[in-house]
Structure 1
Amino acid sequence: MNKPFFLALDFRTGDEVKDFLQSNDLAEAPVKVGMELFYREGPAIISWLNERNHSIFLDLKLHDIPTTVEKAMYNLADLGVDIVNVHAAGGSEMIKAARRGLEAGANGKVPKLIAVTVLTSMDEDILQKELYVNQSVEEAVQRLALLTKESGADGVVCSAHEVPAIKEVCGKDFLTVTPGIRLADVHNNDQKRVATPALAKQNGADYLVIGRSITQANSPKANYQRVLEEWDHA
């Protein structure tokens, strides 16, 4: 990784991605490929990005029985991505199975395995009233992060606000990848637990994921540079 954050390529088609990256001079920017793009374009878009030296976080959030997740990770392991993820709520056996699949399927470097704790679109009200989780968001995130570490994964996806608590229980080398990043003058959209790049760095986040603050901006390259500068000067 030559940059501290992944640019979320939340576009419908590969053509839109290629046009965006090329027209905004974002060569070799680390990127996140999620469900919307991968389900349409599949491994072809990963190959295109690899050929142009983009580090890749493949964000598919696998959550299924351990056998299915293990076989899926085996197939994803040799695509040439840097990070893949699962939902921590799938439990320890599923996370361990994901690790086995990655190690068996990788042809060379094994991608980092991280697990989603509590989605940044969720808050305490949703957690407790809809999912009947009788914990605060921070408590739930901390519990799932520790489960993830004990199951052999490399880190978690979490809000920047929860990074200090995770580092406290899991150690400073346990990776924290933080979505819900917004520049101060950009709308939160459907995210609830958001943070600026500066706050994320101050809290000890390892990597940021940022999308709409850049991809929907009038000047995407200028906002990209703003994120880098805010991170550097935090």
Structure 2
Amino acid sequence: MIEIFTGYFGSGKTEIALNRAVSLTAAGQRVHVVDLDIVKPYFRSREARAFLAEAGVDLIMPNGDWEDADLPVVSPRVLGALTSAEGEVLIDVGGDAAGALALAAFAPILHKRGYRMFLVINPYRPFAGDAAGLQALRLEIEHASQLRIDGIVSNPNLGEKTEWEDLLAGYAQVNAMARGLDLPVLMTGVTERWAERLERELAERAGWSQGERPAGPRQRVRNYLLPPWESEEGQVNRIGPPFH
């Protein structure tokens, strides 16, 4: 199965894809990350290429002079990964119609091989709270990519400032958004700081309402990416050992 992650800029879709790749690799699976994000010049999977290589994740991206281009440059390796790569294939794609166009060329292959496309929602980012805007985004992505969005990744966070109350309120907000879109929440992101507490609360607390309970499997999220203006060498770099 191929997994595709899309969403508004700032939703955390790339962080979700990177963390999922590292988690699957740590569990013994072979993982390929395809960077098809042509929309933004930073916060892309390729910015963590050195770390991904160290973690054992195969990153497929534009090569050489084109690797930092904000252009629709697609490596020939993408076709090979989508048709015959063994293991898990995760695709990080731009979060609007222009970004989704990069997927359209591969739509027949994806339909044949099988895929799931996730819309990553962070309710604390601009535009995410606008139900009409989310529905318009969904339709734009589906039309441009010629693929369907299967469900939501709930990813409420404020980076390192995320508090426990932010997490719980955010899950409830995304659950409501998912109902409005008539899409299931298929995965829940949890900031690494609160991951263990969430598991304890889910095991011990019986009073979770359906509207507030985080749905689907949970993915711990460590922030691997920093904007260039916050890193020492002008390049995104927050590297640490993968968690288990």
Q: TM-score, normalised by structure 2?
A: 0.43
Please report the TM-score for the alignment, with normalisation by the length of structure 1.
0.44
Q: Relative contact order (C-alpha < 8 Å, sep 6+): which is higher?
A: 2
